[in-house]
Amino acid sequence: MVKKIKETAIKAALMAGNKLKEKLTLVSEEIKYKGVVDLVTQADLESEKIIVEEISHAFPKHDFLSEEGSEKKTNSTYLWLIDPLDGTTNYAHRYPIFSVSIALQFEGEVILGVVFDPNLNELFLAEKGEGAFLNGKLIKVSDVDCLNNSLLITGFPYSIREKPEHIFDYFKNFTLKAQGVRRCGSAALDLCSVASGRIDGFWEVGLKPWDTAAGSLILKEAGGTLTKFDGSPFDIFFPQVLATNGKIHQEMLDVFKIINSDK
């Protein structure tokens, strides 16, 4: 069962990612808007269809929740969380930073995470208790132990125009305290960047469970730390995440504490 689950998730991610790459040159003709700046492309929908069909064929009794509306609720103990195209805005502009994210929950706990970057042909994979891997090689978080020497990454939510809240305050303060801050546009890949030691810390608000489910397990299995901005336990169904190598986590929490105390 475990082997079949992993093989199905990997196969679905690879098929969907390759379809996204195949359609990249056509994307400008297939864009629709879900909100003022929230996009959906035909590629999103086709990628989701591929993943849902693969999973449903292999596990017809499993439930799933996906960004573009595919949902099945039967109170199964297994729930697949699917982001068929994480980084749609990048994709719509043919900016080659996007991914496919697939996770599986069992009895409310994420037990499998797969994130595929078709542009770099990088497959991130984690099973609960088995470590995290990039193209079959074990990965771990960085050893950077000082915020001043850290490279951070973040993202802005689609709601930023209506509810900017402290988003720019966070960006300003971390930019002044870290070695650098990047904004790439795919939360799943951002989490994997921390997991693989390329980035030391990541924060973002306005996230959905399909954005973080796979990447959060990959990061945990690579030795990282995840919480909410106040240090309380991370929850994929709560739209906020602070994810680090663990060594700079408290320093980042201290920054949030100062900013949020000024509300």
CATH number at residue 61: 3.30.540.10
Q: Does residue 8 share a domain with residue 125? A: yes
pLDDT surpassing 90 at residue 5? yes
Q: Does residue 69 share a domain with residue 14? A: yes
pLDDT, tens digit, for every residue of 75-110? Answer: 899 999 999 999 998 998 899 999 999 999 999 999
Q: Does residue 153 share a domain with residue 69? A: no
- The residue-averaged pLDDT of 123-151 equals 98
Q: Does residue 20 share a domain with residue 130? A: yes
Q: CA torsion sign, 123 to 128 to 132 to 137?
A: negative
Of the candidates 170, 151, 219, which has an alpha carbon nearest to the alpha carbon of residue 191? 219
Residue 260: which pLDDT band, with cuts at 50, 70 and 90?
A: confident
Return mean pLDDT, the chain: 91
Q: Please tell me the predicted confidence (pLDDT) of residue 262.
A: 64
Query: Given 114, 138, 162, which residue is the final one in a domain?
Result: 138
Q: Does residue 214 share a domain with residue 133? A: no
How many whole angstroms separate alpha carbon 259 and alpha carbon 216?
25
Q: Please tell me the predicted confidence (pLDDT) of residue 14.
A: 98
Higher pLDDT, 242 or 70: 242
Domain that holds residue 9: 2-138
Q: Interhelix angle for 187-195 vs 209-221, to 10°?
A: 10
Q: Could you tell me what percent of the chain has a pLDDT over 90?
A: 78
Query: Given 100, 115, 138, which residue is the final one in a domain?
Result: 138
How many whole angstroms separate alpha carbon 88 and alpha carbon 219?
22
Q: Please tell me the predicted confidence (pLDDT) of residue 36.
A: 44
Q: Does residue 159 share a domain with residue 128? A: no
Lowest-pLDDT range of 32-46, 72-86, 111-125, 176-190: 32-46
Q: Does residue 130 share a domain with residue 171? A: no
How many whole angstroms separate alpha carbon 131 and alpha carbon 222?
6
| Residue indicated by tokens 């132990």 | 145
pLDDT, tens digit, for every residue of 189-237? Answer: 999 999 999 999 999 999 999 999 999 999 999 999 999 999 999 999 9
Residue 204's domain is classified under what CATH number?
3.40.190.80
Query: Given 138, 168, 198, which residue is the final one in a domain?
Result: 138
To the question of pTM greater than 0.85 for the whole model, the response is yes
Total tally of structural domains belonging to the chain: 2
Q: Does residue 167 share a domain with residue 83? A: no
Q: Does residue 184 share a domain with residue 94? A: no
Q: Does residue 151 share a domain with residue 134? A: no
Q: Does residue 207 share a domain with residue 165? A: yes
Residue type, 252: M
Q: Does residue 169 share a domain with residue 127? A: no
pLDDT surpassing 80 at residue 183? yes
